Amino acid sequence: MSAEAANPGATSRRRGRTRLDLRRIGRVALLGPASRDRLPDAIGHVADAHRAHHPDADLSILHRAYVLAESSHRGQMRKSGEPYITHPLAVTLILAELGAETTTLTAALLHDTVEDTDVTLDQVRSEFGEEVCFLVDGVTKLEKVDYGAAAEPETFRKMLVATGNDVRVMSIKLADRLHNMRTLTVMRPEKQARIARVTRDVLIPLAERLGVQALKTELEDLVFAILHPEEYERTRALIAADAGTGDPLNVIAEEVRRVLRDAGLSAEVLVRPRHFVSVHRVRLKRGELRGTDFGRLLVLVAEDADCYGVLGELHTCFTPVVSEFKDFIAAPKFNLYQSLHTAVVSPDGEVAEILIRTHQMHKVAEAGVVALGNPYAPTDDAETADDGVRADPTRPGWLSRLLEWQQSTPDPDTFWTSLRADLAEDREITVFRPDGGTLGLPAGASCVDAAYAQYGEAAHRCIGARVNGRLATLSTVLSDGDTVQPLLALDIGSGPLPEWLDHARTPAARIAITGWLSAHPQPEVPSPASATGRPPEPRPQESAGGRAPGVGTLVRRIAGNAVVDLPDATVRLAGCCTPVPPDAVTGFAVRGGAVTVHREECPAVGRMRARGREPVGVRWLNTGGCRVTLVAESFGRPRLLADLTEAIATAGAAVVSATVEPPSEQRVRHTYTLRLPDAAQLPALMRAMRAVPGVYDVSRAQRPATA
């Protein structure tokens, strides 16, 4: 693709770096000592890198793909002045170094032919097969001529949908963006910044979620250099200054080797320098950097059990920093990452962070899904999903969720915004359904998110949830390992509340809630002026409080269908008594020009009048939907919460919030804030709750309130 790449930092990697050093395969490595007129020799670099991971690979298809790519791009030049073929070759070489299989490399060589040359997808299909054709099509950009400003978001949508069927599509895109970012300095500064921001907001999170750390870390450094040049230079200077001093990590590494050798554990101990962004983050976290902050120790062993053996020896012979221990082997990250993390204090008082993993774990940690080869290779138990999508054991839950909600966002801007927000969630939790199934959700997700993840649009009827067997509000934030059971009302016509948006973290939930609210707007009371085109004539009106407004008074509708006799007032229903139609009500002006509406028997009304506060007339407009707080007094017994919740749902009420006080003398108090579609249903609801065995009283809330 036509974007250019440049390496923003000339500082070389520190000695001992164990991750794949992709920068060495830039233009110099690509062309080698040969001149530009000998470009065909460059395919040898790809072949050598590929054979290092796949000794028995058939290279003939790579040669054929190179011939087609080179002949198609012949005469095209990059903005840097190089022949264009250097770009697909570099992309292919990046993937070959990561261990990608032959089909991915073939598609990488051809990934720009359909977009930038006269080669068609049909030609690619007939020459190289359906799989290569699918991968090439997946990374081909949509034309701006056809899509205008929506071309970029729609291209990513297309690419993500293709990734849902074949994760290799995104690995090619990531390698493509990495090479483009390496020589981005040939672009105008404003274009550099735009491309860097998209890389930061979309590509880097995708690389993280697919586990391709080798690409992610270099992309982070390249973006860091463009968007934060001053901080980048400061970090580069710190790394350069540290390189000229004695490295305490080498001393600790030697001591670790001795400890493991004495214990009879075969392990490779390496010093793993941090990349620029990692050093920058540590500096922000700790302030002044220590000598051991510029890297970590990496211990590689053969078997999983050896990881824990190494951990035990290190914690025995060194002082461990307990707060730094994490076990990502027993509980792998959602991006396939596995490793033990710990930190120990050396006899000299230096603190060293240590990663412990097997060689296979290290390969997957660096290359992610690329290291898994072809997840769609034919096997005896190959499966295809019901929707025609190939069953993919490597397809992560976050990608499945993304593919689901993107179908509900035809608007490109909404999709683009939601995608960035979704990818900004950098941690995932797993919660369990009562039937034993699991739901993958972003960290910070609530019961609202779990309901929509499990039931889709049927979650509009959700009235509450049980978390770990206990009744919980929909706003409850879930933790990793929780068991959650959303509770649905029987009334299929009920819908979500606007405040659910305050608790929804997943785009799927937010899009579904927003869509329902847009399709079911709350009815508004037409002003008299809207019908006649002129201001209304003042006339006296009776209110439930018994006062008539003065001449010229305007009437304003509030939530809960209450109307007050005070012009331009912001009004609300009191939370202490939660009045609903047809309660006798009165109002009082409070600070800020607001009017609070209370039931006549509310204790707050007596206190207001005792202080000489003048009441404001209030009347009910109609008996439409309302919110009310009920208190149920009961004797404690098993399944009481379940039966009460079922009674509320059967009556057609939606639970906004619920609290249960600790039992006292075998008595339990439940407080529910409910939303009713019709206030006239309140007496029937209270009777239904009283009919629940063990419940001896249900009353309206009368909580203390301040003026």
pLDDT in tens, 499-552: 888 888 888 888 888 888 888 776 554 444 444 444 444 433 333 333 333 333
Q: CA 430, CA 436: separation in Å to the nearest integer?
A: 12
Supply angle C-alpha 684, 686, 688, rounded to 5: 70
**Residue 372 DSSP one-character state:** G
pLDDT reading at 79 higher than 90:
no
In the residue annotation, 115 being an active-site residue is answered as: yes
Q: Name the strand (E) or helix (H) holding 169.
A: helix 168-181
pLDDT in tens, 96-153: 999 999 999 999 999 999 988 888 999 999 999 999 999 999 998 877 666 677 788 8
Residue corresponding to tokens 């007032």: 569
Residues in contact with 113: Cβ distance below 8 Å, sequence separation at least 6, in sequence order: 68, 69, 72, 73, 119, 124, 136
The tokens describing 311, both together, are 């951990």
Range name among 335-339, 483-487, 642-646, 699-703 with the lowest pLDDT average: 699-703
Task: At 685, give phi and psi (nearest 5°).
Answer: -65, -45
**More confidently predicted of 673 and 569:** 673
Is residue 426 packed enough to be buried (19+ CB in 10 Å), middle (13-18) or exposed (0-12)?
Answer: exposed
pLDDT tier for residue 654 given thresholds of 50, 70 and 90: confident
Q: Does residue 162 contact residue 360 with C-beta atoms inside 8 Å?
A: no
pLDDT reading at 221 higher than 90:
yes
pLDDT in tens, 263-288: 999 999 999 999 999 999 888 887 78
In the residue annotation, 565 being an active-site residue is answered as: no
Mean pLDDT of the chain: 79
Range name among 324-333, 349-358, 368-377 with the lowest pLDDT average: 368-377
Q: CA 365, CA 645: separation in Å to the nearest integer?
A: 47
pLDDT tier for residue 325 given thresholds of 50, 70 and 90: very high
Share of the chain above pLDDT 90, in %: 27
Helices within 392-490 (DSSP H only): 397-406, 412-424, 447-455
**Residue 651 DSSP one-character state:** T
pLDDT reading at 56 higher than 80:
yes
The tokens describing 55, both together, are 């000794």
pLDDT in tens, 586-643: 888 876 667 888 888 888 888 888 888 888 888 776 656 677 888 888 877 778 888 8
Rounded to 10 degrees, what is the CA torsion of 449, 451, 456, 460? -100
Of the residues 115, 304, 327, 646, only one is catalytic, namely 115
Q: CA 589, CA 566: separation in Å to the nearest integer?
A: 9
Q: Does residue 376 contact residue 420 with C-beta atoms inside 8 Å?
A: no
Of the residues 97, 116, 176, 449, only one is catalytic, namely 116
